Every structure is written in C-alpha cells, then in structure tokens.
Chain A
Amino acid sequence: MSAPAPSMFTPAAKAMAEKLGLKMGRANLDEFAATLEELAKVNPNIVAVTSDSRGSGKLGSFGKALPKQLVEVGIAEQNLVGITAGLASCGKKAFCVSPACFLTARSLEQIKNDICYSDVPAVLIGISSGVSYGALGTTHHSLHDLAVLRAINNITIIVPADNFEARQAILAAAKATKPVFVRFGKAAMFSLHKPETKFEVGKAITLRAGGDVAFIATGETVVHALLAAGQLAGRGFNCRVLAMHTVKPLDSEAVLKAGRECRAVITVEEHMVHGGLGEACASALLRADVNVPFRIAGIPDEETVPGAQADIFRHYGISMEGLSETALKLLK
C-alpha cells in the first residue's frame, strides 16, 4: 500500500484559505486542456502536438474529439518542437505540449532557433512543471526553464497561478502572433481571482494591497504568498500580494511600485533562485536605484531535496508558515 500523498497545506493554512474565502478548483492542466479543446472545436487551425504526452497533458479528450488536430511525434522532443515550428510557419496555431523538464532542456535549441529566432507564433506548453513530479527526482523537475527562456529573445513566459489565469493565458496565447511559453503544474489549485478580474499579459494582478512586505509570486506559489499575507495580517502587518503571471515581459512598473511603497520585497517561485522571477525583479529594482530589503523564495542551488511537491515546497519555505517567517525576519 502506497503512502498517502502529503498535503500541500497545513491545517492552519487550510483554515486561512477558508478564512480568505478561497475555493479549491481543479489542476491548471485540466483547465488548459478543457480550454484548448473548446477553442480547437471552433478553430480547425488549432493543433496540439504531443510527445507521447497526451495523457500527462490531459489531452485524452482532445485526441478523441479532434483526432485530426492532434499530432503525435512520440518520445522525441527535438522533433516535437521542430515539427511545431513547421506547422506554425504554415498557418497552424500549434500548441506543443510536453513535460516542461524535457521541453525546455532537450529541445532548447529548437525553441531558440526554430520558434523564437524564426518568429513563428507557436505556443509551448510546459506540463508538470517545477517540482510537480516531486519524488520522481531531478530528471523530471524543471527548475531551469524560466531562466533559460528569459535569456532567449522573442518569447513571452506565462506561469498561471490558478484556473482563471490558466484559462486566460491560453486564450491570450491562442491569439498571440509571437511565441509564447505557458507552464502548468499538476496539483489542484485554489481559485484566487474573481471571474471579472482583468487579465492582461505583462501586467501583474494585485491580490491584496499593503505596504509592509510585498510578495511578488508566480504560478503555484501565489496561493502560499496570499495565505502568508493573511497570517501576517493577524500580527498587524499589511502585506501586498502581486500575482505575477507573466514573467517575461516583466511588469517592472508593478515591481518598482512595490519596491518604493513597501518596507520589503519577497519574490516567490517554483524555480531555482537563479535566473527566474526573483532575479528579474532584483534586476528591475537595482536598475532603477530602488534599494529595499529583498529575498527570493525559491529552490536553492543544491541537489533538490527528495520528496513530493508539498514536501519540497515546505522544505524550502514555500508555504504560508515559511513565507511568514521570511517576512518577519525581513521586517525586524
């Protein structure tokens, strides 16, 4: 009998989520797959390209409903991205769906040259990203993807935090005329946004106002920042929470505003501390001469601790409790 999966949230965090009125949604991957199928049913030019990954990408239903719009390339990620580029160059709206760990490492050169340099409007979907695969180990983690893609010209990087952001990201990507990378995890996500929230690529969404600590978070870590802000409110601190769904182009204006208006800034991401959201924000702040106490909550440059996604998050302080502690130390 297998051990039960560890919970991402402690009882205290669950209580805070309830207090904040957060409702559990589904995995962003499920939201992505449903949205893509919905779009593809009315636009026959939309094509999903998979590398034996339709199951992991939740595209089983898509494949059954729209078999002529799904291209299977087998376990061959270089070919996957090259074929995607060719399809996109001939007018297809190609969504290339593969585990983020392989897509952004094995086929990085194809992303750089065939997609970005050739400037075709393809969409790269990195599934089971970050440490979603947890105990499968480092081969299956993508803690480098934001860093490597940030260093490549001509690609938008979106990391949705909840089902709303996931759907909006896919709607935006489907209309994009330039390359886009979207990164999804496997876990069910709390809903953080109201349906009427305005989503704009490259613009952070303020989930909570405040002037003590500003949490600038992306992807599946945003909820933990929001819970930490809730916990810190109980100790008299008003913390700002920015959902930074677009890592590139970065909403520098929101980052600088946070740096100027708040006593400290903490960035949070499911990525190595090198080259991701945190360093992007640090760079924006320094280049504008904004000096503010600053920390990056992420995965440090070490062999990642073995464990499930929840274990890894907790180990590295990406949790309500961990982020509250980081904030309190910074505010001392």
Chain B
Amino acid sequence: MTDRELQLKAVRLRKKTLGIICDAGAGHTGGDLSCLDILNALYNRILNVSPETFSDPKRDRYVQSKGHCVEALYAVLADRGFFPEADLQTVCHYRSHYVGHPTRHIPGIEMNTGALGHGLPICIGMALAGKMDSASYRVFTLLGDGELAEGSNWEAALAAAHYKLDNLTAIIDHNTLQITGHTRDVMSNEPLGEKWRAFGWAVKVVNGHDYAALTGALSQPSEPGKPTCVIANTVKGRGVSFMENVAKWHHGVPSEAELKQALAELDAAEAKLKEAK
C-alpha cells in the first residue's frame, strides 16, 4: 500500500472513528485521532499479523497500552477484516464485548488494557518468550505521553534494556496533551528522548502522521541488542480543525453539528488527496 493510499485510508478511518464515538456516546476522540496514523501504518504496513494468522505463535504482537483510544483500534481492525464493521454499531452497548477499552474477546486484540502503565511490562514478557523460543516475531506497544508518569513504565524500561530486547518497540503517541492539559504543566516528561536513551534504548523521533517516517522507524529494529523507542510527534485531534491541540477533546463526544462539520472537513481532505494523484 502506497503512502497516498494509506493517507486516503486514514481519512476514512478517522470518519469511521468519529462515527463509532458518536454512536457509542463515549470515546477518547482527541487521542484516537492522534494515534490513528500510527495504527494504520502498523496494521497495513508493519505488523506480520492478519485475521488468518492471529492464532499463529509466530505472529507479531501489538498491545495498546493507551487502551482508552480503542475506537481508532476498532476502526483499523474492522478495516483489516478481523471482525465485521457492523459489530462497531454495538460499541459500549449493553452485553457487547466492544467496551471502551481493548479486551481479548475481540478478534485481533492480544491483551486487556486500559489501566495505564501496563502495556510495556506485558510486551517485555512477550518479547522474552520470543527470545526464549528463538522466534522471529516482533512486539509493539503504543503508550500515551501522559501515561509515562506511571512508574511501571520505567521499571519496564530498565528490564527491556537489561534483557537486550531488540524485538521490542515502544511507540509513544507524543501529542503533549492529557485530560487536564499540557503534559509540561501536569507532569513534565521532557527531554523524552534523552530519558529513553539513558535507560539503554535506541530512540527515533518521527512525525507520527508521516507514513514514510513511521515506516522507516518501525520496519526494522533500530540497533542489535537494544529495544527501540519511537517518539511519534502527533497532534491531538488530528484532522479536525476545531479538535486539534484542544485538551477538552481528550474524551469529548461531538454533537450532531460538530460531527457534521468534522465529517465535512474530512470529506474535503479526502477529495484533496484524490485530486493530488
């Protein structure tokens, strides 16, 4: 799939994600839109996993540590054929397994997440198991930058370097906003790259909405003997002008009028992309 095809798909997935959130009446809109290009790149270009190979022990693993942005993940997994798109009409409904955070009840989801600071330790266990079995699979996790205040991440950062887990990649959705406001005001975490390097990781900093850059950073492990941290600079609410870089959209649900405006903007973006061929 070309970069342009991924860009076009991303616009449609953004529309789908907003539709899921509006139907459910709940969701983490801003973060969904900030991490959507990362998920799109992972599932359509990077991960060696498909609906047919999901139970194969040799598959790549992806664990979404920032589990609250599950709507974007649902949209991407449905698009990849892990489950019927119609299922998404049940998100957050009574007796639907499509709850507001990832669970293994849903095809394509590896582990139940949602409490922050859990994904990276789990992925270390998966990566260690791969090393023990001399398996070639890779393990990926996606963390929020606000999530990095959870101490368990730093326990895990030590362990991943200690065990030289070059089959592990942690991607940070670095949109700089969390529920209360800017991360620099809530709990400073910069300089992020230096911190991960000091813990013994290979670090790459990329534009998290640039498919060529994401592909370059995620296609191969960075350095033999080192886990990789990809700091993906992103925009919270990406793709919808009035949501971009606005903390209140962390878990805001668009009104009917707001959805209409958002979809109109995304339609325009799609048309522009098509014209640009």
Give me the interface of A with B, judged by CB distance under 8 Å.
Answer: 47, 68, 71, 73-74, 76, 78-79, 81-92, 94, 109-110, 113-114, 117-119
Instruction: Please tell me if the beta carbons of A68 and B132 are within 8 angstroms of each other in the complex.
Output: yes
The answer on a CB contact under 8 Å between A83 and B128 is: yes
Complexed CA–CA distance, A318 and B155 (Å): 39
Q: Output the nearest chain A residue to B109 by Cβ-Cβ distance.
A: A118
Q: Whole-angstrom distance between the alpha carbons of A91 and B110 in the complex?
A: 13
In the complex, residue of chain B having the shortest beta-carbon distance to the beta carbon of A87: B125
Chain B residues close to A by CB (< 8 Å)? 57, 61, 103-104, 110-115, 117-118, 120-130, 132-133, 151-152, 155-156, 158-159, 162
Q: Tell me the complex Cα distance, A78–B156, Å.
A: 9
Q: Is the interface of A mostly helix, strand, loop or mixed?
A: helix
B112–A86 CB distance below 8 A: no
B125 touches A85 (CB 8 A): yes
CA distance A78 to B122 in the complex (A): 10
Name A51's closest neighbour in chain B (CB-CB): B155
Residue of A nearest to B129 (CB): A90
User: Which of the residues A68, A78, A83, A109 comes within 8 Å of B125, measured between beta carbons?
Assistant: A83
Contact between chains at B128 and A82 (CB < 8 Å): no
CA distance A125 to B134 in the complex (A): 27
- Extra A-B contacts (17), CB below 8 Å, given A71-B128, A117-B103: A47-B132, A68-B132, A73-B155, A74-B159, A74-B162, A78-B117, A78-B155, A82-B121, A86-B123, A89-B110, A89-B122, A89-B125, A90-B57, A91-B57, A110-B121, A114-B121, A117-B112
CB distance from B130 to the nearest CB of A (A): 7
| 10 A-B pairs with least C-beta separation | A86-B125, A82-B121, A90-B129, A76-B155, A79-B155, A83-B125, A78-B152, A87-B125, A86-B122, A86-B126
Once bound together, how far apart are the Cα atoms of A47 and B163, in whole Å? 15
Chain A residues with Cβ below 8 Å from B156 are: 79, 82-83
Residues of chain A with a CB closer than 8 A to B57's CB: 90-91
A85 to chain B, nearest CB (A): 5
Instruction: Identify which of A47, A78, A90 contacts B126 (C-beta below 8 A).
Output: A90
The residues of B that contact A68 with a CB separation of less than 8 Å are 132
Considering only CB atoms, which chain B residue lies closest to A77 in the complex?
A: B155
Query: B104–A87 contact, CB under 8 A?
Result: no
CA distance A132 to B208 in the complex (A): 52
Whether A118 contacts B125 by the Cβ 8 Å rule is no
Docked CA distance A83–B158 (Å): 13
A78: chain B residues within 8 A (beta carbon): 117, 121, 151-152, 155
Bound form: Cα–Cα A316–B110 in Å:
47
- Assembled-state Cα–Cα distance A87/B124 (Å): 8
A94 to B126, CA, bound (A): 12
A82-B152, A89-B126, A119-B104 as given contacts; A114 in contact with B118, CB under 8 Å: yes
Q: Among the listed A86, A88, A117, A118, which residue makes an inter-chain contact with B124, where contact means beta carbons less than 8 Å apart?
A: A86
Residue from A83, A88, A117 within 8 A of B121 (CB atoms): A83
Residues of B contacting A117 with CB < 8 Å? 103, 112
